[in-house]
Structure 1
Amino acid sequence: MRFVSYLLIMVMLVGLASLFIVKRPDGKPWLSAEKVAQAVEQQFDNLTQQSKEMRSLVSDNVIPAPSDKVFSNNEQVMYRWRDEAGQWHYSDKPNPNGASEAYLLDESRINTMAIQQSTMITPAKSTKQPVFQGISGLTTADPQKVMVEAKKVQKLMEERQRQLDKAIEQHQ
């Protein structure tokens, strides 16, 4: 079996290498290092542009707060600071060890969803039947409860999607 897998890998490598050697009807090889380098460079440029667009989108949704402002409890503030290793940290509390940048969050552009009470997230009661100790903590004897809860969650998600679609239509 090992021999067959090595043989298949070698056949694939020879096939790939042949694309650099075999010529097209116009006399040029099917693949060249220049073409591969151009494709990689183009993909890198596309990813760089996308990251710049995403960064500007994020920065449009936060407003740098004046450093001398005292914030009230109802204002949504985010703090940002860089540690000694150069890692950025984001928190709802300022850096306890030094300076941090404060940003006011535009609540109209933040998507939040309230946590709904659910029997799926409560731990299972002790039973004589075997208990599945997975994510939900439900017993294996509760499949109908799981289905009922799943349908409730599905309805909530559909309602939230309708609200989002309506909000998008109103802002366009």
Structure 2
Amino acid sequence: MRYFLILVVLILVVGAALFTVPMENGKPLLDWQHVEQNWQNPDKLMEEGLDGLAGKSKETTLYRWRDPQGNWQYGQIPPPGIDAEETTIKAR
């Protein structure tokens, strides 16, 4: 029973480290939001983590638009009825 508890604690520590310890690029191997969005698709789930290990930069497509006050707003999905510009962001 004691070895089982040690094994469970070890698995939890390694799991937590994957989300918190920074790699060479300054980011952890796994990202909570990425895991939450892709937990049902294992191929896409590991895609970002493997790119981070290889040092590849990843591009993200965002949209930008002006709010009623004239400020720029950015998001992955533009609001309906708003004329939004597509912008590509490169990760470092």
- TM-score, length-scaled by structure 1: 0.23
* Larger RCO (CA within 8 A; separation ≥ 6): 2
Larger Rg belongs to: 1
- Larger % of helix: which? 1
- Larger % of strand: which? 2
- TM-score, length-scaled by structure 2: 0.41
